[in-house]
Homo-oligomer: A and B are copies of this chain.
Amino acid sequence: MNKIAFDTKNCGTCPIQHRAVCSHCDSAELQMLDSIKYYRSYEAGQSVLWAGDHMEFVASVVLGIASLSQGMEDGRTQMVGLLLPSDFIGRPGRNASPYDVVAVTDLTICCFRKKPFEEMMLKTPHIAARLLEMTLDELDSAREWMLLLGRKTAHEKIASLLTILATRDANLYKKIPLDGMVFDLPLTREAMADYLGLTLETVSRQMSGLKKAGIIQLEGKRRVTIPDIARLMAETGDDMDGGMLV
């Protein structure tokens, strides 16, 4: 998944988003980026963009989580992207978002005015290269997600999501994925359902099932303890060798 490390040195006041687009920033580039950037913050549940909205910026997630969703007329919705700190919003050469972008948790993004950002991209090829790399990573995770949506059972879907969230949390805080780990679900049951292509009732039932089976413990609605991560991963249906293909 090639995420940017959560590390503030080298990049001054706005580290994450700079390094998200550029891992070899020189000071001229930093200065350029600084001059075209501004921040926006949203509360959990707020909409950042509606599908079809004009976008005058591209942006990078600084703090919190955002989702991309596609909707159908009758109200059915499917989440198609989950954006974490350092992930990129928007697309060079596109003026409108084809997706709803929603703040899942409280969210801060760093926006870059589109026109100058695109000009800068033309002048600094390694920014384009970095974007290509990030986009290919996103494509890979979209394809993994397609397998989940098309072929996994509700049970496997939930186990997969918990594994993803747990692993992500472990990486974020630079812990090795550990048995006995505790973390807070950043998603409501409804958001989990949208992610997994299920109803929120099914999500709730499956969570209760995993709890009864002793695979997870729940404290309140959001706090999850995973006593034995291998046991959870055994429920995902995934290949266990897990060797990342480079």
Contact = CB atoms under 8 A, between A and B. Distances in A.
Interface of A: 52, 68, 70, 72-74, 76-78, 80-81, 91-99, 125, 128-129, 131-133, 135-136, 138-140, 142-147, 149-151, 196-197, 237-239, 245-246
Copies in the complex: 2
Nearest to A97: B245
A176 B221 CA distance: 54
Given A76-B237, A92-B132, A142-B146, 14 more contacts: A72-B151, A72-B239, A73-B239, A74-B237, A76-B151, A78-B146, A78-B151, A94-B245, A95-B245, A97-B245, A98-B140, A139-B142, A146-B146, A150-B196
Contact of A70 (B78, B92, B147, B245): B147
Nearest to A196: B150
Contact of A143 (B70, B93, B95, B237): B70
